[in-house]
Amino acid sequence: MSLSDASKAELRLCSRLQLSDEHAACLISAMRAGVSARSAVVLSPLAAADYKPPFACVDTSEWSWLPPRVFVPVEGERPTVHADYAAGLYYSLDLSSCWESAPLSVVPPPGSSLDLCAAPGGKSMLMAARYLPRQHVANEVNAQRRGILRKNIQQCGVPNVEVTGLRPDQWATDGRLFDLLLADAPCSGQSLLCKGIRNPGCLGQQMVNGNAKRQKGILLAAVQCVAPGGHILYSTCTYDPDENEKVMAYILKRMPEWQAVEVPVLADFRSALVDFPCYRMLPHHGCGAGGFCCLLRRATEK
């Protein structure tokens, strides 16, 4: 496909990302084809250390960013049809979500953690694959989605989890402080197009601006919930810098006690759009539909 055939909205996104013509054509083709989704499974605490899934998996030894206890099925395998899935031995999710959790590789095991936008539970599962905090709160405002979250947490046997439904502003005044906060923020979801899911308006400026405003509000509340020396992992499943780099830059400017943290295993994905470390994966990387992540750390008290 030539770039001359692309819509203005697609070209505008590629321009914001400062993509070469070759990579722009790859992204636009992926959004139109809708076949970039790639499944993965993360083992639950119920699965033994030597457990192997009952389906064929690809060799992932070259993906240094892959979280522990994660397997990637070969094309055509359906992990959710096996009895082990119903028994809660593993949780099925998109490989891009696993990539977005890679910054946890540089976070010390937390004593307490909060997954602020937790449903359906993938990020909490990925965190549990690395370490089990003494206290974990999985929060979801939407009641229906909160029910799904609770079911997934219980089915996979994740211990020491409190499921809640507070708004971010309510958490800001709750008084509890956490060592780690996960903010898989609501976004325009541009990567859904690459999974073959219709998402009208996701490339439009109105939707992008609305989500960016909401994301800033969520993070301004989130920073009030983290203990000195603690971390926030911010992630989205969208590409636009207005919802990613610019949101991070806004928080770092407003909150000088926070800094962005380097994640060595994601060095190949580092964004060139800003001078602080944050990371973006696009469909042409071959690891799913893509996403964005940035790890923030709050300075310790003197």
Report the alpha-carbon distance of residue 295 to residue 102 in Å, rounded.
Answer: 10
> Tens of pLDDT along 233-265?
999 999 999 999 999 999 999 999 999 999 999
Model's pTM, two decimal places?
0.96
> Tens of pLDDT along 94-126?
999 999 999 999 999 999 999 999 999 999 999
- What pLDDT was estimated at residue 302? 47
Low-confidence ranges of the chain (pLDDT < 70): 1-6, 301-302
Please give the CATH superfamily to which domain 34-298 belongs: Vaccinia Virus protein VP39 (3.40.50.150)
- What pLDDT was estimated at residue 4? 59
Report the alpha-carbon distance of residue 214 to residue 283 in Å, rounded.
Answer: 26
- What pLDDT was estimated at residue 264? 98
- What pLDDT was estimated at residue 300? 85
Active site residues: 237
Q: Would you call 144 exposed, middle or buried from its count of C-beta atoms within 10 A (0-12, 13-18, 19+)? A: exposed
